[in-house]
Structure 1
Amino acid sequence: MSLVDIQSIASLLEASLHPSTAKQAEQSLRSTEAIPGFSVLLLQIVASDAFPQTIRLASALFFKNFIRRKWTNEDGNYLISESDVVSLKADIVGLMITVPPSLQVQLGEAISIMADSDFPDRWQRLLDDLISRLGFHNPTVTNGVLQVAHSIFKRWRPLYRSDELFVEIKFVLDKFCVPFLAVFRETDAAIAANAKNKDILVANFKNLQLIIKIYYDLNCQDIPEFFEDNMTELMGWILKYLQYTNPLLETGFDDEAGPLEEVKTSICELIQLYSQRYEDVWGSLLPSFVETTWNLLTTTGTEPKYDMLMSRALAFLTTVAKSPDRAQVFSSREILQQIVEKIVLPNMSLRTSDEELFEDDPIEYTRRDLDGSDSDTRRRAATDFLRELKERFEGLVTEVVMSYVQHYLEQYAADRNANWSAKDTAVYLFSSVAVKGTVTASGVSATNLLLDVVGFFSQNIAPDLLRDDTHAILRVDAIKFIHTFRNQLTKQQLTEAFPVLSGLLMAPEYVVYTYAAITIERILSIRQASQKNALLFDKDDIAPVAEQLLGNLLRLIEKGTTPEKLAENEFLMKCVMRVIITAKESIVPYADTIIQHLAGIISETSKNPSNPKFTHYTFESVGVVIRFAGPSKPPGTFDETLMPGLLAILGQDVTEFVPYVFQLLSVLLDVATPGTPLPAAYLQLVRPLLAPTLWETKGNAPALTRLLQSILARDALVFVNQGLVEAVLGVFQKLLASRVSDVHGFALLECIFYYMPMQQLETYKRQIALLILQRLQASRTDKLIVNVTRLLYFLSAITDTQKNLGPDYAVNLLDQAQPGIFGEVFSTFMIPCSAKFHANAADRKLLVVGLARILFESAKFGSQYSNRWCIGATALVTALQSDSLVDVYSNGTTNASAVFAEIMDLEDEVSFGATFARLSTVTAKPLDPAPELAAGGSGEITTLKQYVGAEVKRFGDSLSGFEAQLSDEVRSTLIGYTQL
């Protein structure tokens, strides 16, 4: 398709809205987007009233995603035509301020993406364009301009300080501050003049919220001089609107925040920033804001629509309480009692809306309630405020709070059925002051020494777990108490709680069984205090109950009747994953059943992926079953169950699942019996895996690399037999060309060198070296230097003589591309980079063995580069003498434990990229170029120092030629190794 027209694009966008044609339409749009003018036509569709709103919105969404994918590459070069770039920059701001809000949001995000790359250096007119369009007396136009400005400036909030960042901010401040003050004045005047005109009032309050957000943006890194000079006027308005009331701005719904609440919420965020960063210039105004916030907290209702406002207001007071001087205002018993009664209790006590959420949307209740979640809730904010006060005045706050705890416990004891919510409040209050510091994913590290946490658990919490008539919310409180204070309970106590928690997986209440699963998972993640990587519970602890636990958890997951409901509860699947990791090889007898359940879940959820965390934990679970049980099963056992579904996902191109499928295919190959033929399904995949289009999706590259590594390790000749050696090297070339993917290119290249017959690579050696050297010259990043260094040490360290590799091969690889270049690379990159290879045992071994072989075994290096020999020897001794050096050869058991190091250290919170998430449970072991050195045992080299000592002995009299150039310490150390 060489030409593209607006009607055909609109038709494809309309087709993308219908499930039956969505995928094909999406593919057609993707195939068209490379044509010049495509993006401009998308904007024309967004702008045109001739198209239905649904098509305009679809066009805006596709445009935003197109800009995210295609605006620039990682080097900042445009991926669309220059004419389209110019046209988009000229039109998009004017368009955004005129379209409806739903379209504005998408275009605003697109502008933010464009600005992230181009502003201000390549789009200096953007700011002038915005300012010129500020439509004073026209709130709609003003709103569009402010939306764009905020979408650009908010990028500064999470950034670290840098000269480049401050140059950009100064550029904006010089142009934008005066118009900002003018539009603030104009909006304030318009609000005053239209206090009884609801439509105009609401429009101006929407602008006011954007103004306050931009106020935050412009001050997020440092307070500008302009804002200091105009502090009285600006903060006068801020205080005014924190106090402002107007019935016309009320929504009339208990759960829908109105523009006034949204403005006050933004104000609380702004004044929290000022109290954290700029108290020295703002301190005189602080008391007025504290008083106003106090009044706000004590007079605002408990309806859900005020939740975010109350949370932000409490966060502001929490920040004030962090200041030792400012906190003194809260230091008296009378004030603390008022705080508990008027602020903490109203925001911590259970409300009717909370009970409704517990019943009607239990997964949302759980996510909000869970410690460490990102949810902004009243309870969380009230707890944080109380804990901060407790840190300042521990004895007094504990005493005051415990009097209320006792009061509520007595209320509950008087009538357990009627007053169950009093017990809920008591438990939350106690937990709030019992914790010292913050609650993290690892639990509580320290507690208030004035309180007996274990005693409180025994007397007030444990009974709620055992009584059949305990209210469901109190049962959740009891489970959560164990979850929060699990580190304070002994292994014996946790062991005794385990059957109770397991039994609660059978509870009918969603939140109860979900919290039980969460707590079981966290208990199984507890590490022994004495050993960093040793878990408190091992397979012997969990093996007797693991099968039943997994059965109950999978049954709960499979209650979902749609793909979305099936994948709704990631906490259940995370618990499945953790139980399997803990049970290890004990799952072998029933591993087939687990795989069947998981395969069914993957197949069903692939129909409509909706929960990335659930998806990740599901694939992690499959991966760990394969790793632990696969070696004990007959070849192909799991393939028969998994392969049809995995291949179907590839065939249907389920974008969210494809990278996971590649990773699972890798581990299925890894655990198979070495030397067995490559299964037919993989033989059919080899050629498609090398298709360039497949590698264009960024999320595929790491997973595809992993799969190619596994195929090379299993049967590298398959590429030779199918005439695909050049295609594999082409993949390496493509990966090397990008700063994002070059690390995967080098990982693939290591396997190519290690497994591919050398005669097949002879023709391509010089080209490979040239590509590496050209990349070093063009884009010399730290990561690239590390990868080049690693490759050369890896090639040098390979001891298998049948592979015809080793130190001379590494030297010649570069020198055949450019004579004498290895010496320059060695001294300029390899030696300075060597210090970065002390992080783990495998890297240290690679460094020491590779460097030692270059120094002591390479005839070419010893002659042609003899002037660099001493710096190499010094680096070698430095590595061996490093305090962080750990013997990797101890008794031959290190490798066995290292296989599952990644699993044991699985992150508590998975970081999900936009397109790829690595499965920790299927991480490939680094290639060991000298595996025989790690065998250990009598009569063999058992330490790196002994290995180097043997190399020095073999070097013999040649060492004397360098002794005069070596320092006494290095010379004596090397000779000392020969005595080990």
Structure 2
Amino acid sequence: MDLPTLASVLQLALSTNPDDRKAGEERLNQLHTVPGHLVGLLQIIVTPTVDIAVRQVASIHFKNLLSRHWKPSDGGDQICDADKRTIRENILEALVHAPPIIRVQIGDGLKTLILSDYAERWPTLLSTVNANLRSQDQQRIYGALYALRILTRKYEFKDDDERTPLYQIIETTFPTLLEIFNVLLSMVNPPIEVADLVKLICKIFWSSTYLEIPVQLHDTQIFTAWMACFHNLLERPVPQEGQPVDLEQRKAWGWWKVKKWTVHIMNRLFNRFGDPKNAKPENRPFAQLFQSQFAGKFLESHFTLLSVIRQGGYLPDRVINLVLQYLSTSISKSATYQLLKPRLDIILFEIIFPLMCFNDVDDRLWHEDPHEYVRKGYDIIEDMYSPRTAAINFISELVRKRGKENLQKFLAFIVEIFGRYDAALPGQKSYRQKDGGLLAVGALSDKLKQTEPYKSQLEQMLVQHVFPEFSSPVGHLRAKAAWVSGQYASIPFKDQRHFSSAMHSMVSALKDPELPVRVDSVVALRSFVEACKDLQELRPILPQLLDEFFKLMNEVDNEDLVFTLETIVDKFGEEMAPYALGLCQNLAAAFWKCIQSSEDEDEDESGALAAVGCLRAISTILESISSLPHLFPQIEPIVLPMMQKMLTKDGQDVFEEILEIVSYMTYFSPTISIEMWSLWPLIVSAVEDWAIDFFDNILTPLDNYVSRSTEHFLTCKSPDYQQSLFKMISSSQILRTVI
């Protein structure tokens, strides 16, 4: 097909008319096997006279075809060798000249080629990249850096015996790369495009040094030159001109990305090579060099960055998090701790503690989107970016490694915060500082529960400073009181009335008007249930407690809620029998809701995790009523659809949990229904698909299934039923032998 005709087909695929658009898409799908089609797409992509929308749809189609059909191992229709050769020869040039809106698609296509073909089928790529690096054309340099980033990332996690191509890449390109780095850093008032180039260089260095420092960088002079560049980046202020006003856009701005990657690299080098005693023998000289010449120097630069916070300036959350990680690593190393020590008061009381306090961002999220506030609070991925989490980790590391010098001082500061709060008039209390103080006390619970004289004063501290906040007029303090109380629920209370009062306050908080308070209370209640010695305190209110649980589970997908429910079921055992049917109904409803949520939002794993929690809770309930077989036929219609759904590829991640439920339903039930038998072909099919990955997980449930089925073999009267049973038992024995 000639290019004008191909362009018209692409234009048709953009049509607002559904019929025309469908015709265009079908025509494109028919063309993908035609020799020259990919080359034609690439020609349209790089032709500036073609409409940009057509070029964009061509780039998307081009990227998708490469992803699906380039690798021989992918099967299906393959791309002819002549087209592959032409694409390899021209894709880098296309990347150089493509506008930003198209560059990403070409970059993805280039990634597919590099991962598949370099170095065996594309040996000329490295020389082409190096030649472009040496050019004076900024666009050509950008294209070379883009390709070099993909090349180095291919080997980022490879073992030593697979990293030989990386060493050749470093040998060939790093001398030129260092020259470019220095030129870019010497520019006065550089445009934002320079930030993109610098960021790519940082990423290339990151991938090249992630596992080991390559021998090419062991030369002291060369490594010092690289460190000088990174030190320059850390020290120079981020340009004020051009920064987006919107904070979400600002943190993604080029120069802040450069700052983030620089701190990221320093953290990695410091963690991996900051202590010669822990380094491999071959890396010990390098580690000694880094410790003696660079660790302290970069620590000073991190102090400079943190001073921005003290002055009320802006630092992205991820940058703050990484800077504090570097400081946390400095605590355990004598040389850097001596530099840290004189500044500790400023760091602790003017930087760390303010980061731990409830702030304007928290307040806005609490009131505008409480569900998102809860999600962020329980999302471990968020911890990677949270300044508050990094501040907590710094305090924890400080009292763990240098507690004799710092624990008393920090706690005295917290006590002073509490004292000022108690003394202030109601309208003048610093609720946010009290919140930070409670967070500090809760975060240090493990240390305080083991250390005198604090250990013997914990009950008094809870009664005086924590439990009163259950009735605070401020929601976030009620939530924090619940969380802190949960951290200390296991301590030996001298006055059991204090424990009981706190537990009843927690139960009452399940009806709090603020969603985050209810969630934190449910999660904290788990610790009280585990520590409770007299279940009579909870027994009378158990129905209402379970009712509030399921109201909350209908509002929030949170696996921590299910953990508390599991604890209650486990604690009360057979006493849960009257509630077993209702519990399973509610958990099944929550399960389907979580599954739907995880399918609707592929990037949000909270729904999937909560679904696993529901399955585990159902297993706990079934175990608790194992001596009451008459309940199992009543529960079967509730759990059967879940088992049917998840004993397919849809349930790959929960196969173990589902099989455990199958095991309970067949082993403890007085009969095995025909409906339960319908699961057997699904199990066999699933095992055939996934046996290698799931051998260890399926043997015990399978044995239970077969054992119970064998007992039914002699008592069943239907010949067809007997025959099916016999086939199942025989198949399972063969399957077990194979496994």
TM-score computed with the length of structure 2 as normaliser: 0.74
State the 1:297 CA deviation.
0.9
Structure 1 residues 459 and 750, CA, compared in 2 at 3 Å: closer, same or farther?
Answer: farther
Instruction: Tell me the residue number matched to 1:234.
Output: 226
Q: 1:177 to 1:511 in 2, by over 3 A?
A: same
| Aligned-residue offset at 1:552 | 0.9
The 2-side partners of 1:523 and 1:40 are apart by 64
2 CA distance for matches of 1:38 and 1:628? 66
Q: Secondary structure at the match of 1:238?
A: helix
Once residues 422 and 223 of structure 1 are traced to their aligned partners in structure 2, the CA distance between those partners, rounded to angstroms, is: 44
Q: After superposition, where does 1:231-630 map in structure 2 within 5 Å? A: 231-245=223-237, 246-255=239-248, 256-257=250-251, 258-276=253-271, 277-278=273-274, 280-282=288-290, 283-300=292-309, 306-332=316-342, 335-366=343-374, 368-369=376-377, 374-391=383-400, 393-413=402-422, 414-418=424-428, 419-431=430-442, 436=447, 446-447=450-451, 452-465=457-470, 467=471, 469-488=472-491, 497-522=502-527, 545-559=541-555, 567=557, 569-608=558-597, 609=599, 610=601, 611-629=607-625
Distance, in Å, in 1 between the alignment partners of 2:527 and 2:41 is: 49
Match of 1:872 in 2: none
Q: Is the 8 A contact 1:367 1:375 kept in 2?
A: no
Q: Distance in 2 between matches of 1:682 and 1:144?
A: 59
Whether the aligned pair in 2 keeps the contact of 1:269 and 1:316 (CA below 8 Å) is no
Equivalent pair of 1:580/1:624 in contact (CA under 8 Å) = yes
Q: How far apart in 2 are the matches of 1:395 and 1:132?
A: 58
Task: Describe how 1:738-753 pairs up with structure 2 within 5 A.
Answer: 751-753=732-734
Given the superposition, is the C-alpha separation of residues 139 and 662 from structure 1 closer, same or farther in structure 2, using an over 3 Å criterion?
same
Shift, 1:347, TM fit: 2.9
Q: Does structure 1 conserve the Cα–Cα contact (< 8 Å) formed by 2:632 and 2:665?
A: no
Relative to 1, partners in 2 of residues 1:665 and 1:421: Cα closer, same or farther, differing over 3 Å?
closer
Offset from partner CA, 1:78-109 (integer Å, 9 cap, x none): 65677579939837766666667687667767
Root mean square deviation, CA, Å: 5.3
* Amino acid across the alignment from 2:173: F
1:327 Cα shift? 0.9
C-alpha distance in 1 between matches for 2:700 and 2:41: 39
Q: Which amino acid aligns with 1:461?
A: V
CA shift in 2, pair 1:363/1:570, >3 Å: farther
Alpha-carbon spacing, 1:397–1:369, altered in 2? closer, same or farther (3 Å): farther
Contact 1:401 1:430 in 2 (8 A): no
Q: Contact between 1:596 and 1:641, CA under 8 Å: does it hold in 2?
A: yes
3-state SS of paired residue (2:316): helix
How many angstroms apart in 1 are the aligned matches of 2:32 and 2:528?
Answer: 52
CA contact (8 A) 2:42 2:59 kept: no
- Match of residue 149 from structure 2: 150
CA distance 1:665–1:234, shift in 2 (3 Å): closer
Partner of 2:279: none
The Cα offsets for residues 516-574 of structure 1, whole Å up to 9 and x where unpaired, read as: 12223355578xxxxxxxxx879888665544333211111224xxxxxx53x343334
Residues 1:665 and 1:230: Cα distance change in structure 2 (over 3 Å) = closer
SS at match of 1:636: helix
Q: Does the Cα contact within 8 Å between 1:401 and 1:429 map onto a contact in 2? A: no
Question: 1:694/1:71 Cα in 2 relative to 1: closer, same or farther (>3 Å)?
Answer: farther
Q: Residue 850 of structure 1 corresponds to which residue in structure 2?
A: none
Contact 2:296 2:336 in 1 (8 A): no
Q: Which moved more, 1:690-699 or 1:217-226?
A: 690-699
Task: Sort the Cα spacing of 1:311 and 1:58 in 2 relative to 1 into closer, same or farther, 3 A.
Answer: same
The residue aligned with 2:280 is: none
SS of equivalent residue, structure 2 residue 241: helix
Note the residue ranges of structure 1 that are not aligned, 5 or more in a row: 196-200, 437-443, 527-535, 560-565, 729-747, 756-786, 792-980
The amino acid of 2:618's aligned partner reads V
User: Is the CA contact 1:254–1:304 (under 8 Å) kept in the aligned structure 2?
Assistant: no
Shift of 1:219: 2.3
Question: Is the contact made by 1:504 and 1:516 (CA closer than 8 Å) also made in structure 2?
Answer: yes
Alignment partners' CA distance in 1, 2:474 and 2:441: 19
Quick one: which amino acid aligns to residue 510 of structure 1? L
Change in Cα spacing, 1:428 to 1:352, as seen in structure 2 (3 Å) is: same
213-222 or 540-549: bigger deviation = 540-549
| 1:650–1:356 distance in 2 versus 1, CA, 3 Å | same
Give the Å deviation of 1:615: 1.9
- Structure 1 residues 390 and 691: CA distance shift in structure 2, 3 A: closer
Q: SS of the residue aligned with 1:463?
A: helix
| 1-structure distance, mates of 2:215, 2:484 | 49
Contact 1:666 1:710 survives alignment (8 Å):
no
The 2-side partners of 1:583 and 1:102 are apart by 60
Distance 1:506 1:581, change over 3 A: same
For the 8 Å contact 2:45–2:56, the answer to whether it is kept is: no
- In 2, distance between residues paired with 1:705 and 1:34? 46
Q: Which residue of 1 aligns with 2:281?
A: none
Distance 1:589 1:420, change over 3 A: same
339-348 vs 80-89, which deviates more? 80-89
What is the match of residue 846 of structure 1? none
Contact in 2 for aligned 1:135/1:141 (Cα 8 Å): no
The aligned runs of 1:650-669 (5 Å cut-off) are 656-657=650-651, 660=654, 664=658, 667-668=661-662
SS at match of 1:508: coil
Per-residue deviation at 1:459? 2.0
Matches of 1:84 and 1:537, distance apart in 2: 74
- Give per-residue Cα distances to partners, 1:462-501, cap 9 Å, x unaligned: 2212x2x342122222222234445545596656533322
Cα distance in 1 for partners of 2:30, 2:490 equals: 57
Alignment coverage as a number of residue pairs:
679
The structural deviation recorded for 1:221 is 2.6
Which residue matches 1:681?
A: 675
Q: Give the conservation status (yes or no) of the 8 Å contact 1:599–1:641.
A: yes
Aligned AA (2:617): S
Q: Give deviations 1:745-793, integer Å, cap 9, x for gaps.
A: xxx99823389xxxxxxxxxxxxxxxxxxxxxxxxxxxxxxx97xx7xx
**What secondary structure is seen at the aligned counterpart in 1 of 2:244?**
coil
Distance 1:296 1:606 in 2: 44
- 1:60-139 alignment, distance < 5 Å: 79=75, 87=84, 90=88, 127-128=126-127, 130-134=129-133, 136-139=135-138
